A and B are shown apart, each in its own frame.
Chain A
Amino acid sequence: DQQVKQNSPSLSVQEGRISILNCDYTNSMFDYFLWYKKYPAEGPTFLISISSIKDKNEDGRFTVFLNKSAKHLSLHIVPSQPGDSAVYFCAASVFGGYQKVTFGTGTKLQVIP
């Protein structure tokens, strides 16, 4: 039962353009959402997060949007840079005294110079 879904396994974007990565979830109990970035042979690195009480969170070139009614969130990267090329994991959690995180399968982003 895949509770967090990233339906696009890969995405290619030109340098300087916007990258939009999408994520859907099925568990309405999730109250915190995160995006992680992962380079080959490294562990995931936290990128940005959003609480379920918000619909947008921005950090520099990265913005996460949350649509609770649609159970959908997206990560926007503007402008995209070649160093952004990595696998991006969407993740969600239900706070129960600790963060038990459920990850999506990842989207591999390639930013073409």
Chain B
Amino acid sequence: NAGVMQNPRHLVRRRGQEARLRCSPMKGHSHVYWYRQLPEEGLKFMVYLQKENIIDESGMPKERFSAEFPKEGPSILRIQQVVRGDSAAYFCASSPLAGGLEQFFGPGTRLTVL
């Protein structure tokens, strides 16, 4: 059973470009969480999605950031018009249940904005 997959593992963008980060949850998991880890900080919750629904996006910046988890395909975290402050590691986690006490993390995507 493959774990949570994220791609790309590394992404370099210039200021003003768009970044798309993909997350394929573990098989059978329909709940996806996105976290961001800035340098020297812990992981910060961004958004929680179920299939086709955004349940909690309280950790998402109000502008430029969006997330989706379509019925088919991976979850996508999209950052428009990236700025240097968006440089971070972005982790996706999945769980089989809404109240799943354990979240399984992917290896992360390291975004660098030049």
Contacts and interface: CB of A to CB of B under 8 A. Distances in A.
Interface of A: 4, 6, 32, 34, 36, 41-46, 49, 89, 95, 97-106
A98 B42 contact: no
Interface of B: 4, 6, 31, 33, 35, 40-45, 48, 55-56, 91, 93, 95, 98-108
Q: Which 9 A-B pairs have the closest CB atoms?
A: A43-B105, A103-B42, A103-B43, A105-B42, A98-B98, A46-B102, A44-B105, A43-B107, A43-B106
Given A43-B4, A95-B99, A99-B100, A105 B107 contact: no
Most buried by B among A4, A44, A102, A103: A44
Contacts of A42: 107-108
A46 B99 contact: no
Given A34-B101, A44-B91, 18 more contacts: A36-B105, A43-B93, A44-B43, A44-B105, A46-B103, A46-B104, A49-B101, A89-B42, A89-B43, A95-B99, A98-B56, A98-B98, A99-B103, A100-B45, A101-B33, A101-B103, A103-B43, A103-B44
Nearest to A36: B105
Contacts of A43: 4, 6, 91, 93, 105-108
B31 A98 contact: yes
Nearest to A97: B98
Contacts of B6: 43
A113 B31 CA distance: 40
Contacts of A4: 42
A72 B114 CA distance: 40
